[in-house]
Amino acid sequence: MSFPTHRPRRLRRTEAIRSLVRETRLSAQSFAYPLFVCPGTKVKDEIASMPGNYRWSVDLLVNECLAARDLGIPAVILFGIPAKKDPLGSDACDPKGIVQRALRALKKSAPDLIVICDLCLCEYTSHGHCGVVKGTEIDNDATLKILAKAAVVQAEAGADMVAPSDMMDGRVGRIRAALDAKGFEQVPILAYSAKYASGFYGPFREAADSTPQFGDRRSHQMDPANQREALREIAFDIEEGADIVMVKPAMPNLDIIALARRQFRVPIAAYQVSGEFSLIEAAARKGWIDRERIMLESLTAIRRAGADIILTYFAKDAAKLLGS
Ligand code: PBG
């Protein structure tokens, strides 16, 4: 049976009906807000390619996090910009490192906010690579030791969750073992499992000053052409103990989010990354698109594909539009 019996427009006639039959509901409750923290006090340094996003010193970061929490955003994810970078990314393992200081301040002022810590070396290394460089290669197994140590240091400083984004093989298992050995068996791992070698990270690298000095990240991040491989990566991470898995970037990879949603039973996060944010923001500033509409449409699409958690630079603005 078809038209005229079926008239899909019947359910689109009024906003009340559309709302009644709406399949996907967006809420600030599923947002995590990415934030950059840097040394100093009273620093609020706008990131040129990500308007409305800043490098915050710890004192002002706390206020920004309280504002996010008051808008109903349950979680933030922190990225550190250390005072000094070196070849091994030492700041990541320093109890007084930038993210660890931010964690302690946040746990004091906003104990109920979920503070997730990005766990990768590229923000901390002088060469901008995600691991220990040997010659022109990134040494996987040497990097694992540092990542495991950094995870423990983050947990000691109060991290509610650690989020390895390095894409080294075997890191989830090593991080789980290191956390458990130090009594942090309750700290979950949110693994960046299907993380593609993407051009969409451009603005982030400006923000964190983490552009690799030579080469690129294609020897560890995934080839954007691959779909089955993403499911393999996710399966490995779950086997190794990941509590939540992530697909990143989000919009170019809605197919991966949808497949992962069907295939796995763990919560799925998706990261609407810097480049996704910036291209919406830039077109809106030119008056070419409706910013608010596209913000909500893009987030709804990510949710509809199957993401339980969305990391987004729009978290605060979207939360304001959605209400609580
Ligand atoms: C660290 C990391 C990156 C992002 C999140 N964690 C950069 C990269 O892999 O180059 C990108 C986030 C964004 O673009 O918003 N490895």
User: How far apart, in whole angstroms, are the C-alpha atoms of residue 141 and residue 149?
Assistant: 13
DSSP 200: G
DSSP 265: -
Concatenating the DSSP letter of every residue in 24-89 gives ----GGGEEEEEEEESSSS-EEE-TTSTT-EEEEHHHHHHHHHHHHHTT--EEEEEE--S--BTT-
119 forms bridges with which residues in the sheet?
Answer: 164
Over the chain, what is the mean pLDDT?
A: 97
Q: Is the distance from CB of 251 to CB of 301 less than 8 angstroms?
A: yes
Q: What is the mean pLDDT of residues 5-26?
A: 98
What's 26-322's CATH class? Answer: alpha beta
Question: For strand 244-248 and strand 268-272, is the pairing parallel, antiparallel, or unpaired?
Answer: parallel
The residue type of 244 is I
pLDDT at 297 (0 to 100): 98
Residue 270 has φ and ψ, to the nearest 5°, of -135, 140
Could you tell me the pLDDT band of residue 292, with boundaries at 50, 70 and 90?
A: very high
Q: What is the mean pLDDT of residues 15-25?
A: 98
Contacts of residue 28, defined as CB under 8 A and 6 or more positions apart, other chains included, come to 71, 72, 73, 74, 315, 318, 319, 322, 324
Instruction: Tell me whether residue 58 is exposed, middle or buried, using C-beta atoms within 10 angstroms of its C-beta: 0 to 12, 13 to 18, 19 or more.
Output: buried
Instruction: Exactly one of 248, 286, 316, 320 is catalytic; name it.
Output: 248
Could you tell me the pLDDT band of residue 1, with boundaries at 50, 70 and 90?
A: confident
pLDDT at 186 (0 to 100): 98
- Domain residue ranges of the chain, discontinuous segments joined by +: 26-322
Quick: pLDDT tens for 138-175: 999 999 999 999 999 999 999 999 999 999 999 999 99
pLDDT at 70 exceeding the cut of 90: yes
Ligand 1 midpoint to CA 36 (Å)? 12
User: How far apart, in whole angstroms, are the C-alpha atoms of residue 320 and residue 244?
Assistant: 26
The residue type of 41 is T
Q: What is the mean pLDDT of residues 282-286?
A: 98
Ligand 1 midpoint to CA 201 (Å)? 6
User: How far apart, in whole angstroms, are the C-alpha atoms of residue 191 and residue 161?
Assistant: 10
Instruction: Exactly one of 96, 182, 195, 316 is catalytic; name it.
Output: 195
Ligand 1 midpoint to CA 287 (Å)? 28
pLDDT at 23 (0 to 100): 98
- Asked if 85 is an active-site residue, the reply is no
Residue nearest to atom 14 of ligand 1 (CA): 201
Quick: pLDDT tens for 108-130: 999 999 999 999 999 999 999 99
pLDDT at 305 (0 to 100): 98
The helix/strand/coil state of 322 is helix
Quick: pLDDT tens for 171-229: 999 999 999 999 999 999 999 999 999 999 999 999 998 999 999 999 999 999 999 99
